[in-house]
A and B are shown apart, each in its own frame.
Chain A
Amino acid sequence: MSNGDRFLEDFRAAFMDERAERRSRARLVALAESEEILDVAYRTMESPLGPLLLAATSTGLVRVAFDREDHDAVLGRLARDVSPRMLAAPRRLDLAARQLDEYFARKRKRFDLPIDLRLARGFRRTVIARLPEIPYGSTSSYAALAARAGNAAAVRAAASACSHNPLPLVVPCHRVVRSDGGIGEYLGGTDAKRALLAMEASA
């Protein structure tokens, strides 16, 4: 390597400043929050079911995603469906993360935090809005859920609403199983669904 290249490398490196990057980034997050242009804040957290992605609008929690959904793909869809003005900014998710930790530690039976159901539309949204009525530790069927949502014949649509629930765990679609005793689909996988039902049953 020539002397000139070495000088150039040192020259560039001299203008790298990780501390300044961290501080200016924190400043950007604060400014974006105060100007209300941080449309989607997100973070990841560890859980017994693997890493979870949490995303919130200024209205409330808008998405909880399991690792197998591919977090990058989920973020890309949030940029398309909600807004691309997104930052990894954990503070807005503090409450949700804490309540999820408590839930997994069996210290919390219901979630009490603002949610934003904009990713669920029409009948799906009606279905999802009824899910919190199913008590912790119990289950319901897709047929009962469809009836509760006002259309007893729409069993398949109710099942589809559950398998597209944007807020799994917090909105408990895992408590809905098939009338024939089958476990039914789950965004986090059927093993995760079984684990959650077992956890709630033993709490």
Chain B
Amino acid sequence: MSRRPFEEIIAEHGRAVMRVCRALVDRDDAEDAWAETFLAAMRAYPRLRPQSNVRGWLVTIAHRKALDQLRGEARRPELRSELPEIVVPDETPDTDALRAALDTLAPKQRGAVVYRHLADLPYDEVGRRLGCSAIAARRNAADGIAKLRRQLEEGKRR
């Protein structure tokens, strides 16, 4: 069984993996986590079983790589300095505020929101990852979104 060119895997999943990384860590760390995720995936790709759930596999790696960044274990400063620093004002100032709001959710709500609404995983898989049913995963996601909306609306009023 032959595999599709790895570039197609990036085209299909790269954006969702970036949303997950961005939800877990700041922009610099998210860039590193994304690159480390696809590097690890590329390393293992020839051995991946053809029927594998690629999105779920990548999200699992991304989660781990983002946590590595938080722990400061995987920084590659030598590489960062090689890349040209493009001086553009940050166009997404809301992202870090949203990430902070995500961090205030109960763990299952946060997990459900990230896996469902940023990684686009189906509810039964979200449930498996969180150790609950698909129905509970759906409720956690809805509760999490409702809480986020309240928080952000209050934040705007202040």
Interface residues of A (CB under 8 A from B): 4, 7-8, 11-12, 14-17, 19-21, 23-28, 30-32, 35, 37-38, 40, 75-76, 78-80, 83-88
Contacts and interface: CB of A to CB of B under 8 A. Distances in A.
Q: Please indicate which of the listed interface residues B10, B43, B92 has the most CB atoms of chain A within 10 Å of its own CB.
A: B92
19 contacts: A11-B117, A14-B98, A15-B23, A21-B14, A21-B15, A24-B34, A24-B35, A27-B83, A31-B35, A31-B39, A31-B79, A35-B39, A37-B43, A38-B42, A75-B7, A76-B5, A78-B5, A80-B2, A87-B7
Contacts of B27: 17, 20
Given A76-B4, A84-B2, A19 B86 contact: yes
A4 B39 contact: no
Given A14-B94, A15-B23, 13 more contacts: A11-B145, A11-B148, A16-B19, A21-B18, A24-B30, A26-B83, A28-B34, A28-B38, A31-B36, A76-B4, A83-B46, A85-B45, A87-B10
Given A14-B95, A24-B31, A85 B145 contact: no
A78 B6 CA distance: 11
A83 B7 CA distance: 12
B39 A28 contact: yes
B149 A17 contact: no
Q: Please indicate which of the listed interface residues A17, A21, A37, A40 has the most CB atoms of chain B within 10 Å of its own CB.
A: A17
Interface of A, helix, strand, loop or mixed by DSSP: helix
B121 interface: no
Contacts of B138: none
B117 A12 contact: yes
B-side interface size class: 35 or more
Nearest to B146: A4
A15 B32 CA distance: 16
Interface in B69-110: 76, 79, 82-83, 86, 88, 91-92, 94-95, 98
B157 interface: no
Contact of B118 (A15, A38, A87): A15
Interface of B, helix, strand, loop or mixed by DSSP: helix
A24 B36 CA distance: 9
Interface of B: 2-7, 10, 14-15, 18-19, 22-23, 27, 30-32, 34-36, 38-39, 42-43, 45-46, 76, 79, 82-83, 86, 88, 91-92, 94-95, 98, 117-118, 145, 148-149
A18 to B, nearest CB: 9
A86 B22 CA distance: 25
Given A28-B39, A37-B42, A15 B6 contact: no
Contacts of B34: 20-21, 24, 28
A79 B31 contact: no
B79 A20 contact: no
Q: 7 smallest A-B Cβ distances: which pairs? A: A80-B2, A84-B3, A27-B35, A24-B34, A15-B19, A24-B31, A86-B5
